[in-house]
Copies of this chain bind each other. A is one copy, B any other.
Amino acid sequence: MLLRRLESIATLSDEEREAIQRLPINVRVLKAGQDIVRDGERPSQSCLLVEGWAFRYKLIHEGRRQILSFHVPGDLPDLQSLHIHTMDHNLATLTNATVAFIPHDGLRELTRHFPDVAAILWRETLVDAGVFREWMTGMGRRSAYERLAHLFCELYLKLQAVGLADEHRCPLPMTQSDLGDALGLSNVHVNRTLQEMRGKGLITLRGNALIIERWNELLRACEFDPTYLHLEKRAAG
């Protein structure tokens, strides 16, 4: 899985491929809503999300929560802990999930010997930061409607890139409160904004499935520009 993801970004040599496959891995199956790493901890491993969804979040006073990112299979959601030793946020499962833990020692060894692999991993963390920048821009300068539309575009493309979405349909396993915490809105306002979006016929949202009925209009509504996802080199599947 890790291999698959990395190879979708760049070509690896046999030697590199082999070294990656030799990484000690500890696979675990987790229930939905479980913390994987917590704020303040100093983990000695990072994880690869193999199946299911995860999200990162911060807590502040009075139970206020800010969701920082959503993650899908293939993501390395806490790779930053390889070089930033103290966690400054939490990582948790959103759905039931399969997670592969990789010790930092092994990763450090790998990156020491294979600078090209290091560059790919480094790049992953940089794309991550690019998504943060885009979210910041949304929270600072976009309306609720635009933010929601933007998030749907982003998630659809991310899922499509790993073969989990197609034909403008994708799973969307989070609650409206989760969406609110991700976009800096109240759950009530998310609900009303979704109704507006449905009313305009842009989307259908039932159960945990999102259908984007009018992709082009959705893009236009939020001025979506996918550059920041830096998916160019990544093959679908």
Contact = CB atoms under 8 A, between A and B. Distances in A.
A123 B108 CA distance: 13
A216 interface: no
Given A66-B137, A130-B88, A223-B60, A119 B83 contact: yes
Nearest to A185: B140
A158 B86 CA distance: 18
Nearest to A65: B141
Interface in A59-102: 60-61, 64-66, 68, 80, 83-84, 86, 88-89
A137 B184 CA distance: 8
A152 interface: no
Interface stretch (A47-55, A110-118, A165-173): A110-118
Interface in A209-229: 223, 227-228
* Interface size class, chain A: 35 or more
Contacts of A142: 60
A139 B84 contact: no
A234 to B, nearest CB: 13
Q: Please name the 7 residue pairs, one residue from A and one from B, whose CB atoms are nearest each other, closest first.
A: A140-B184, A129-B129, A132-B132, A83-B123, A139-B139, A66-B137, A88-B228
Given A58-B137, A86-B227, 18 more contacts: A40-B227, A56-B133, A58-B133, A60-B141, A61-B223, A64-B141, A68-B133, A80-B126, A83-B126, A84-B130, A108-B119, A115-B115, A118-B122, A125-B129, A140-B182, A140-B183, A140-B184, A141-B184
Interface of A: 40, 56, 58, 60-61, 64-66, 68, 80, 83-84, 86, 88-89, 108, 111-112, 115, 118-119, 122-123, 125-130, 132-137, 139-142, 181-184, 223, 227-228, 230
